[in-house]
Amino acid sequence: MPGRLVLHPAIEANRGMGLLHLTPRGEQQIVYLVPGAQSVGEYRRIVHSRGLSEKQIQLTTFDAFVRELYPQSKKHLMTRIEQEWLARRAVEEGIREEPGYFQGMTDRVGWLKKVEARIGELKRAGVRPERLTTLWKHQGDGLPELARVFYTYDRLLKEHDLLDHEEPYFLVMDAIRKEEITLPTHVVAEQFPDLSFLQEQLLIQLITAGVSVELHLAWDEERPRLFEETKGLCDRLKRRGFEIEQRQGHKTKKRRKSLDHLARSIFATEPRREVSSDVEVIAAPGLEKEVTLVVARLKRWLRESGSPLNKVALVTNQANSYFPLLMSALEEAGIPCTRTFSRPLKEHPLIWTLHTALSMQSMKKEMIPLLLESPLLPWLADKSSAVSWTAIWQGLGSPERGELLSRRIDQITEDELQKWEISQEELVGMVDLFRWVEGVPQHPLSWNEWVAWFTSWVKPLDDRERRQTLARNPMLLPVMAEEWKAWSGLREIITTWQGIFAQRNLGEQMCDRGEFLSALEQAAEAKQIEGKPGRRGGIHLLEPNQVRGDRYQGVFLLGCVEGEWPRPIAEDWLVSDEERERLRREGVHLALAYEQRTHQLIPFFHCVSAAEEKLVLSYPASDVEGRNRLPSPYLDEVKRVYKPEPFSEEIPGISELLPLSWQVSTSLNKGLERGIALLGRVGGKDLKEKDLQMARRIVERVREERPSFIASVAEKIKVESQRQSEGKTSKYSGSLTTDVWGPEVAKAMKDQVWSVTQLNELMQCRFHFFAGRMVGARHISEEIEGLSPLEKGELLHRILCRFWDRYRRKSLPDFELAEEDLRGVANAVWQEFVSKDSQERDPLYLHIEKSRLIRKVLGMIRHEWSWREKEDVSDFRPILLEFGFGIEKDEERIRRGEIDPATMAKPVELPLANGERLRLKGKVDRVDQDELGRYILYDYKSGNAPDLAQIKEGAYLQLPLYLWAVQEVFSLDSKLAIGVAFFTGGKGKDGQPPTDNRNKGLWRKEEAKLAGISGRVTGLFPADEWEEVMNRIRLQLRDRLERVEKGDFAVEPTWECPTYCPHRGICRVNAYPS
């Protein structure tokens, strides 16, 4: 019996399209496969509306159908936690004995997730471990090791009678071949353009066994790019005997004209352009502002259209970023939604408290404040003082051990106790906390021992009396409920672990603290805790793959920004596209990178075609620092089907922080913001009396309901008025008075040993220096997937220093030998870094970073060999490599050739203008010298280097300061300095070596050609101009230091503020007159 592929017109491929012509006969039950368990309820309503019963139509998902076909299996379907354990065990057995390619990666969370993903992908492709082992036996680059993990994983499944989501497909297909199971007579599936190889094979086997199979898909031959994946599926199934039937259009509820045109034309090669009347685009300065504007637009549209809430969908493919903000904004606006708020247990304070405590070795000083501020520590719960525990701990001298803390508390004075408003008995609680943390085992235990210890260790935090206290306050009931659910989730994790160990004999293996912490973190990430429940009849909050053939009167798509929707899926570094192509020739179908990117087209199409009356697309046009972001290319596809005018698009500026209208004020708080803004402009142009009356009513209402809040707002307005009226003479301007900045402080600043980084900050903006260096206002660093800029620079310096250390005196080899030498050095340095790195990183990013690093240093060396082959150049050799001053010598690094032997602990004193001297510490990357004593100073840059104008103006001081430092220490003749330059990776063209690596710097015009510098480079200076630039920088530096000694940290950036500044939110630079 042939299978049928039923192709429906794309714009009418609604949910339930396969039910239209379905007529069950007699007692026959049709199995109807739907894409996702969350959609079963909606399909059930469609079945009932068509006069059918669930006895006739069995609604189920593909995976559930397969498991039901093989119910007699005694195997256990793994939970996510169990699957993580099995993958971990497979890695331990399959790789750790012979790590090879993956040396140093196997303990990281990102690595384990990557392995799990590849195992699932390989299984869905239908390949078995024995065949993969043969295919990858001689491939190298980690593939044999991955095949060994895959083989071990499959063996562990069988040994422990476990099932993952893919294994039942193999069991069922084997049972069909052996005629061991009862099959249905009729199977129908719809909305599955992305069938896996296993699912395709199962449908084919069902047909072979006599089952009637229908697959209903959306199709439009005029849009090949959009339906490329569907065409590939149809071609494969047609070759296996499926017949294709194309259905004609049927009557459905019509969209409005412009939205119908969009559904018919988006992603077409040359769409006809029409007028847009029902599509809007909102571009906002930042994600939070985007959510605010979208909710305001939604509320206004609901009022104007009268649409029921359950006929509206808010959709985003960035659920973790948008859903919390959306649910908060919707609640504030009084708009209910159907989605229950949930978040990973990992994000709850309970888990980050435990994570912080488990992560601390010997109470690391930088982590102690994170722990002290946890609300869940019973030892610190009864403090009566308003002073924070962190401030008290710092006041005690920041001790890092419980013993030291206890000794310090014994010596505490009455004055200190009064200052902190705390008793000595209360301080003992901090000692108990330290001892609790110090009780974490630092030696390996078995998994059974870890779980038993952990179960006992967390008990002190399970404070039921605290939760009962929270429950008495109606405002804190949600906090109490979420905390209770967090504890329930943690107990479920412990119970699951105990079950795994008891039933699967996995608990006797040894592991260290880091492995246990990693397992806890993964389990907590998988476990969801629910907050406020959704409300039936509210609006729908959805992800794109949940919109398959649905229709809504209004659809709002958020996050349509480049780099997020679609996601830029890169080629997989574990299994490259080249290898995937080779596997296809062997009959193993793994998706290529471009196919995975194309896979995102269909969900977006479903989203925009779901709108019947209104479609609003939004994106953050800038981030919180004001850096521009581009709209999604999918948004451009929407615009392509419409005429440019009048296309509705709102783009407020970054400075528009307050609500722009009463319509955008979706809550009382937003109305108050706008009201205060308007009242501050009384007497201004374009103000309407009715707006002022509205503002006064809102302020009075808030004054009556929350008088203390209005009092605090009034105080802030008073301070702001004073600051603006007094300008630079205000005490808020950044200039400190003598009672704060006395002679002792000024002398300390004068005697300070400066680093170049500190001086750069001072030169660029005195307030920026003050906020970061003196107040300690630091930007909270974001988690970096690969290497930080600091780590990249450190690795680059270590590699180049080791390499050049070999050629201080001996002649340079041919480039091929030099390249081989450099690769050896780079690999050695990288392996040392990875082996000592304790941070959890994604192996994918590490692999990419290593490749980029090696490519960069090779480009720098290739440039060196290129210019040294020119005529009329001098033979410059390194005389200083990573020469440090004002820093301690590291003998081990000197031995490895990573620090210059001349490095000294004493800082260098440099003469400035007016007889003043500057004490400086730092590290000079490299100084080259020829046989006549002429020399060049280089400063390596792993990223972009400053431009020439910034260097000349003194915005970046490392080149002149380091030049003066080596001249001072080694008595080098200043007239023999040929140049100072940043040495970058450069940019090659048309496959040629880069030539611009050293262009960003200052060069003496007469001698630059001796170093291979082209006469076209802009940084060439005659002798008199060279001296003028150097003297100007000295004067500017002296001026900034004199201002600092007087306490003048005014908000006066020397140059235009950079795009990013960590203190942009507190300096208020735009509020000062220029």
The DSSP code sequence of 827-888 is HHHHHHHHHH--S---HHHHHHHHHHHHHHHHHHHHHHHHHHTSTT----EEEEEEEEESS-
Q: Do 360 and 225 share a domain, yes or no?
A: no
Q: How far is CA 644 from the centre of its chain?
A: 35
Which tokens belong to 945? 């280097």
Using alpha carbons, select from 252, 241, 220, 262 the residue that is nearest to residue 16: 252
- 385, 360 contact by CB (below 8 A): no
Q: Do 973 and 1015 share a domain, yes or no?
A: yes
Query: What whole-number distance in Å separates Cα of residue 670 and Cα of residue 332?
Result: 10
Q: Do 889 and 951 share a domain, yes or no?
A: yes
- The burial class, CB within 10 Å (0-12 / 13-18 / 19+), for 990 is exposed
* Distance set, CA 423 to CA 383, 384, 400, 405, 890 (Å): 9, 9, 21, 15, 45
- Positive or negative, the CA dihedral 844, 846, 850, 852 is positive
Type of residue found at 539: I
Instruction: Give the max Cα distance, the chain.
Output: 106
Tell me if the bond preceding 460 is cis, omega within 30° of 0.
Answer: no
C-alpha angle 231/232/237, rounded to 5°? 95
Q: Do 1049 and 1026 share a domain, yes or no?
A: no
In the chain, how many domains are there?
Answer: 6
- 1009, 989 contact by CB (below 8 A): no
**Where in the sequence is the domain holding 174, given as residue range(s)?**
4-73+169-252
Query: What whole-number distance in Å separates Cα of residue 73 and Cα of residue 184?
Result: 18
**Count of positions (residues) in the chain:** 1074
Q: At 76, which helix (H) or strand (E)?
A: strand 76-77
> Which of 955-980 are b and which e, b meaning 16 or more Cβ less than 10 Å from the residue's Cβ?
bbbbbbbbbbbbbebeebeeeebbbb
Is 546 among the domain residues? yes
Q: At 970, which helix (H) or strand (E)?
A: helix 958-970
* Contact residues for 238 (Cβ-Cβ < 8 A; gap 6+): 5, 244
Number of C-alpha atoms within 13 angstroms, CB side, residue 573? Answer: 14
- 1068, 768 contact by CB (below 8 A): no
- 106, 847 contact by CB (below 8 A): no
Which tokens belong to 173? 């297909």
- Positive or negative, the CA dihedral 678, 683, 684, 689 is positive
Interhelix angle 743-750/1023-1045, rounded to 10 degrees, is 150
pTM of the model: 0.70
Query: What whole-number distance in Å separates Cα of residue 366 and Cα of residue 1070?
Result: 34
Task: Give bridge partners of residue 908 from the DSSP assignment.
Answer: 920
- 311, 538 contact by CB (below 8 A): no
Is 822 among the domain residues? yes
Q: Do 1023 and 897 share a domain, yes or no?
A: yes
Q: Do 233 and 294 share a domain, yes or no?
A: no
Is 137 among the domain residues? no
Q: What is the structure's pLDDT at 615?
A: 95
Q: What is the structure's pLDDT at 837?
A: 75
Q: At 923, which helix (H) or strand (E)?
A: strand 917-929
Q: In 209-305, at which residue ranges do the beta strands (DSSP E only) sit?
A: 212-219, 243-246, 279-285
Asked which of 530, 556, 591 is the last residue of a domain, the reply is: 530
Q: Do 501 and 640 share a domain, yes or no?
A: no
Query: What whole-number distance in Å separates Cα of residue 148 and Cα of residue 144?
Result: 6
Query: What whole-number distance in Å separates Cα of residue 844 and Cα of residue 860?
Result: 25
- 756, 925 contact by CB (below 8 A): no
Cβ neighbours, 10 Å, residue 456:
10
Query: What whole-number distance in Å separates Cα of residue 446 and Cα of residue 307?
Result: 60
Phi-psi group of 711: left, alpha or beta (phi > 0 → left; psi -120 to 50 → alpha; rest → beta): alpha
Q: What is the structure's pLDDT at 501?
A: 80
Cβ neighbours, 10 Å, residue 107:
16
Residues of the chain with pLDDT under 50: 362, 653-657, 1071-1074
In the chain, count H helices and then E strands: 40, 26
Alpha helices in 666-788 (DSSP H): 668-679, 689-705, 707-726, 743-750, 756-764, 766-769
Phi-psi group of 390: left, alpha or beta (phi > 0 → left; psi -120 to 50 → alpha; rest → beta): alpha
Tell me if the bond preceding 566 is cis, omega within 30° of 0.
Answer: yes
Q: At 149, which helix (H) or strand (E)?
A: helix 143-159
- 906, 868 contact by CB (below 8 A): no
- 671, 662 contact by CB (below 8 A): yes
Q: Do 934 and 797 share a domain, yes or no?
A: yes
Is 578 among the domain residues? no
- 299, 335 contact by CB (below 8 A): yes
Asked which of 252, 287, 318 is the last residue of a domain, the reply is: 252
Is 78 among the domain residues? no
Which tokens belong to 952? 């000349």
Using alpha carbons, select from 951, 1015, 1006 the residue that is nearest to residue 975: 1006
* Contact residues for 840 (Cβ-Cβ < 8 A; gap 6+): 108, 109, 110, 518
Residue 28, domain CATH: 3.40.50.300
* Contact residues for 826 (Cβ-Cβ < 8 A; gap 6+): 799, 853, 854, 857
Q: Do 349 and 435 share a domain, yes or no?
A: yes
Is 30 among the domain residues? yes
Query: What whole-number distance in Å separates Cα of residue 218 and Cα of residue 199?
Result: 18
- 610, 273 contact by CB (below 8 A): no
- Three-state secondary-structure class, residue 141: coil
Rg, C-alpha atoms of the chain = 34
Q: Do 312 and 393 share a domain, yes or no?
A: no
Task: Give bridge partners of residue 921 from the DSSP assignment.
Answer: 755
Query: What whole-number distance in Å separates Cα of residue 300 and Cα of residue 294?
Result: 10
Q: Do 704 and 762 share a domain, yes or no?
A: no
Is 879 among the domain residues? yes
Kindly report the three-state secondary structure assignment for every residue of 775-813. Answer: CCCCCCCCCCCCCCHHHHHHHHHHHHHHHHHCCCCCCCC
Q: At 433, which helix (H) or strand (E)?
A: helix 424-438
* Distance set, CA 994 to CA 636, 944, 997, 998 (Å): 35, 14, 7, 10
Asked which of 623, 650, 677 is the last residue of a domain, the reply is: 650
Q: What is the structure's pLDDT at 655?
A: 43
Query: What whole-number distance in Å separates Cα of residue 876 and Cα of residue 518?
Result: 51
Is 436 among the domain residues? yes
At which residue do the structure tokens 């203390």 appear? Answer: 708
Q: Do 609 and 524 share a domain, yes or no?
A: no
Cβ neighbours, 10 Å, residue 879:
18
